[in-house]
Structure 1
Amino acid sequence: MTIYSAVVTTGIYCRPGCGSKPLAENVRTFEHPAAAEAHGYRACLRCRPYRVAGPIAADVPELLCRAVQLIVAGALDSGTEAALGARLAVSPRHLRRLFTQHLGVTPDQLARSRRAHFARRLLDDTDLAVADVAFASGFGSVRQFNRDMRLVFQASPVELRSRRRRADRLVADGGLVMRLPFAPPLHWPALLGFLAERAVPGVESVREGVYRRTISLDGEAGLLEVLRGGADHLLLRAHLPFWEGLIHVVERVGRIFGVDADIAPAEAALARDPLVGPLIAARPGLRVPGAWGAFEIAVDAVLRQYAARARAREQMAALVEAAGQPVPGLDHGLTHLFPSAETLAAADLKGVGLPKDTADTLRALALAAARDDTLLDGGSPLADFVHGMSAVPGVTEDTAQRTALRLGYDDAFPTVDRTGGATRGEPGAEAGATLRPWRAFAATHLAVARVPVPTA
């Protein structure tokens, strides 16, 4: 758990490792930077805690974790705490009490802090106009932007930009470049290898140490490129049709690479496991890879339910070519946007060469996702998510678990991995029970190392 130290006499808070050495009696501690800001403290100019997202402790209630995920996805950019509570089936009062008890802030305060921190990074790293920074960071108006920046940083956006360091500004040859900070280590080769093996043809590519993919923003195409930037950050180069809502693009990219993940508890808990422990020692810093699009991951999981990985990759390429929106003019093998659930639901899936069982299951999934936008949003408990997805005709529980792993469920545990037509285990209710509650972390190490999955 990260503990932030705030100094009563200076009104400044710091992240761990800062060089300042105040007297112990003058120090207060907080588990999240937003909590320190809610108590009137401002970020240290030396360690700049706003440049690294404050991780959520691993032992907080699952409901709180899901609420934070929805806030990160923009639930409070224009919505209310009451609407967020309704989405989670709790009262706004209970939701605020839960946030205050475990994080020291209300949901609105957390959302405001995240927007302000992201805006400060844009002011440091880019030359975007102040108004563009406001809307890219999820603020509803420049007036709200100015007000919240003064509340969090006690200075206006113009003043904050004037304070940036010369080395902060990132010079890019096309596109907008931003840092994606993480707490070292991060095992980049293993993470990139995992993504390369599962890259969607025409939509994703991994070449020469760079991950690239096409994305759709309100129907318009964009391109993202991610590469290793340094010991404590990745670099994102974004080519987008507009900057509004950039904060959510960056958050989604961050989830793909787990930059905000606190993996220390999982590594510590599994370090002595006879199977997983040696794998962790061999690849320290490996994160559970996330996903840009939930439907995209679910489609891949369904295809791999019926076919070996190589064949599933061929089928995915055929789907993208037949139903995806073409994006001309790109290189590195990128040619299309991934088709939406609505598009696949209406497509002739058998006409692209899918077997009947595969086509029927895929169409059922596309119809279900098109009708219910909460089916794959990751906002429900793991058991409910698996139950809801496996209720789709033809979708197995293991396919739902495979999807859940990429959507950020810590205890998701797919036990079937078809490679070359062979299976590495059969699903069971207690499979990998000794690895709870970090089964997704364990399964990622097992998959990267190609070690057979333990079964019941």
Structure 2
Amino acid sequence: MGPASVLGVTTYSAVRTTGIYCRPGCGAKPLAENVSTFELPAAAEAAGYRACLRCRPYRVAGTVADEAPELVCRAVQLIIAGLLDESGEEALGARLGMSARHLRRMFHEHLGVTPDQFARSRRAHFARRLLDDSELGIAEIAFASGFGSLRQFNRAMREIFRASPRELRERRRRSDRLIADGGLVLRLPYTPPYDWDAMCTFLAERAIPGVEAVYDGVYRRTISLDGSPGMLEIGPGGDDYLLLRAHLPFWEGVIHVVDRAARLVGLDCEPVLARALLASDPELGPLVAERPGVRVPGAWGLFEVAVQAVVRDQLPALDVPDALRKLVEVYGVPVPGLAHGLTHLFPGPEALASAELVGSLAVEVANGNITLEVGEDAAELVRSLETVTSPPAAQEIALRLGARDAWPFADDAEHLRPWRSLATTYHRLTAGIG
């Protein structure tokens, strides 16, 4: 059998007699005595199984659900952010205050793989989707997926998929190809249910003028990659995926762009336990039953979200958009030629150090006294933020940065711990977002 069942989302079935693993719903019907189960594709691959060619498990979300321990979730966030691209498990363990050996033990216990195996599987699965969906060349896909060299890329694809990248591209189905009218179009897979309308409403209500916009159910924003501007569009796709259209200055490291986009719209974690707890709450239960696909919104720019929260904390709601617009116009970098009101990149902390309302936050971030990064300890993050803003604003920032138990309200709501971030999102639906 696979590792302890902590995910509760998708269980992959591996057949000992064929050496193949499948996702739920595959048409294969093996004998039960020949089947082992795994919670992640990476765990099945680490045990020597290869992906089924019929159901193609690399095309589903495969995210770590909220049942995993917080330290494991923080480690996964750091891996997704690219920490293991240029460093090893020792650096990851040090970031979390533990030895690499203890970190590997925790990953084996809860996910069935080492951190390195998890990272390599993610890169390979992303590359396989690019081979299916895009017209990028083999070398472009290697570096877009986070591999350090073509040799490393070829070796990983042969080990995981038992074929070279060129052979895998030749196997793709005609219906896989996403036709792009400018930009690179990619799927953002998720495990249903997922409520895009709720997420879109939240993002529209908080869109920073000049940087973000929501029109006709599509979210758009400017981004900066190594100082060069780009633009993202996220909108509805199929029954189990959104569509991301990326207009970028280069394709290297696209896997991290896609991961950040997925985190922005709440696809990085499936709230299985959180949803179950809230479903039993007298106040929120009916709304959870009516809209079970609500997810906690994340962020593209972590400093950007912090600035927005601090401004919202100090001004009446009607004045917030104009204040943010002025910050963007005065301190942001112009990006000409875009539609939908997108005009600037959001300014960084150094640029906003002298700005009214947010200067104290910007200075503390620029000096390294406040660390706005994924994988940070939520309690420490909130404590540092409370030195420059109110407790509710600090909790709001923590929620958008991935804390599972943020609560920006006056009461404690102890009965909703440790899943108050999702409860907050439902409360806002009840109140009309806000």
Normalising by structure 1, we get a TM-score of 0.91
SS in 2 for 1:50: helix
For each residue in 1:170-222, what CA deviation from the matched residue of structure 2 results, as whole angstroms up to 9, or x when unmatched? 00111110111111121121110110000010000000111100000000000
Distance 1:308 1:408 in 2: 26
Q: 1:166-315, aligned counterparts within 5 Å?
A: 166-315=174-323
Does structure 1 retain, via aligned residues, the 8 Å contact 2:370–2:384? no
Listed one character per residue, the Cα deviations across residues 370-399 of structure 1 (whole Å, up to 9, x for unaligned) are 1228711132322111112213xx312211
In 2, Cα distance between equivalents of 1:170 and 1:43: 22
The separation in 1 between residues aligned to 2:141 and 2:324, in whole angstroms, is 37
Deviation at 1:452, TM superposition (A): 11
Aligned partner (choices 377, 382, 390) of residue 373 of structure 2: 377
- Deviation string, structure 1 residues 411-456 (Cα, Å, up to 9, x no partner): 11111xxxxxxxxxxx24xx11111111111110111221799xxx
Measured in 2, the distance between the counterparts of 1:259 and 1:159 equals 30
CA contact (8 A) 2:334 2:343 kept: yes
Match of 1:333 among 319, 341, 344: 341
- Counterpart CA distance in 1 for 2:211 and 2:322 is 13
SS at match of 1:116: helix
Is the contact made by 1:342 and 1:367 (CA closer than 8 Å) also made in structure 2? Answer: yes
Aligned AA for 2:394? A
Amino acid paired to 1:118: F
**Paired residues of 1:14 and 1:44 also in contact (CA < 8 A):** yes
Distance between the aligned counterparts of 1:169 and 1:371, measured in 2?
46
Would the alpha carbon gap of residues 93 and 164 (structure 1) be closer, same or farther in structure 2, given more than 3 Å must change? same
Contact kept? 1:76, 1:111, Cα under 8 Å: yes
Shift in alpha-carbon separation, 1:404–1:344, aligned structure 2, 3 A: same
- The one-letter code sitting in structure 2 at the alignment partner of 1:204 is E
Equivalent in the alignment of 2:93:
85
Aligned to 1:353: none
Name the residue aligned to 2:362.
366
For residue 85 of structure 1, report the CA deviation from its aligned partner.
0.9
Q: 1:374 to 1:118 in 2, by over 3 A?
A: farther
Aligned counterparts of 1:244 and 1:271: Cα–Cα separation in 2: 42
Name the aligned partner's letter for residue 109 of structure 2.
Answer: Q
Give aligned-pair identity as a percent.
Answer: 62
**Matched residue type, 1:407:** L
Please state how far the C-alpha of 1:317 moved relative to its aligned partner.
0.6
1:409 to 400, 403, 408: 403
SS at match of 1:160: helix
* CA deviations over 1:112-158 (Å, ceiling 9, x no partner): 00000000000000000000000000000111000111111111100
SS of structure 2 residue aligned to 1:343: coil
Residue-by-residue CA offset, 1:233-267 (whole Å, 9 max, x unaligned): 11111100000000000000001112243123222
Does the alignment pair 1:388 with 2:396? no
1:441 pairs with 2:422: yes
Runs of 4+ in 1 over 6 A off after TM superposition: none
| Count of aligned pairs between the two proteins | 426
Contact map agreement 1:378 1:385 (CA 8 A) in 2: no
Contact 2:184–2:247 (CA under 8 A) maintained in structure 1:
yes
Q: What CA deviation, in whole Å up to 9, does each residue of 1:290-323 have, x standing for no partner?
A: 1101100000110011112221121111000000
Return the offset for 1:74: 0.3
SS of alignment partner, residue 313 of structure 2: helix
SS at match of 2:140: helix
Q: Which residue of 1 aligns with 2:4?
A: none
- The alpha-carbon distance between structure 1 residues 308 and 19, as it changes in their structure 2 partners (threshold 3 A), is farther
TM-superposed CA distance for 1:59, in Å, is 2.7
* Aligned residue identity for 1:143: R
**Inter-partner Cα distance in structure 2 for 1:210 and 1:238:** 13
1:279/1:446 contact within 8 Å kept: no
User: Which amino acid is the alignment partner of residue 156 of structure 1?
Assistant: S
1:374–1:107 CA distance, 2 compared to 1 (3 A) = farther
Q: What amino acid sits opposite 1:316 in the alignment?
A: L
Q: Are 1:54 and 1:260, in contact at CA under 8 Å, matched by a contact in 2?
A: no
- 8 A Cα contact 1:375 1:389, kept in partner: no
Q: Name the CA shift for 1:47/1:40 in 2 (closer, same or farther; >3 Å).
A: same
1:106 to 111, 114, 120: 114
Q: Which runs of 5+ in 2 are unaligned?
A: 1-7
Alignment of 1:136 onto 2:144: yes
Query: For the residues of structure 2 that align with 1:38 and 1:236, how far apart are their CA atoms?
Result: 30
TM superposition shift of 1:279: 1.7
Residue pair 1:6, 1:30 contacting (<8 A) in 2 also: yes
- Report SS of the residue matched to 1:224: strand
Amino acid at match of 1:88: L
Is it true that 1:115 corresponds to 2:123 in the alignment?
yes
Q: Which runs of 5+ in 1 are unaligned?
A: 351-357, 416-426
Once the two structures are TM-superposed, the CA of residue 280 in structure 1 deviates from its matched residue by 1.4
SS of 1:138's equivalent in the other structure is coil
- For the residue of structure 2 that corresponds to 1:342, the secondary structure is coil
Q: Which residue of 1 aligns with 2:5?
A: none
Counterpart of 1:398 (choices 392, 397, 402) is: 392
Q: State the secondary structure of the residue aligned to 2:135.
A: coil
Could you say what the CA RMSD is over the residues aligned between the two structures, in angstroms?
Answer: 1.5
Contact 1:263 1:285 in 2 (8 A): no
**Which amino acid counterpart does residue 408 of structure 1 have in structure 2?**
G
Using CA pairs under 8 Å that are at least 6 residues apart, name the structure with larger relative contact order, 1 or 2.
Answer: 2
* Structure-2 change in CA distance of 1:452 and 1:118 (3 Å): closer
- Distance of 1:14 and 1:452 partners within structure 2: 39
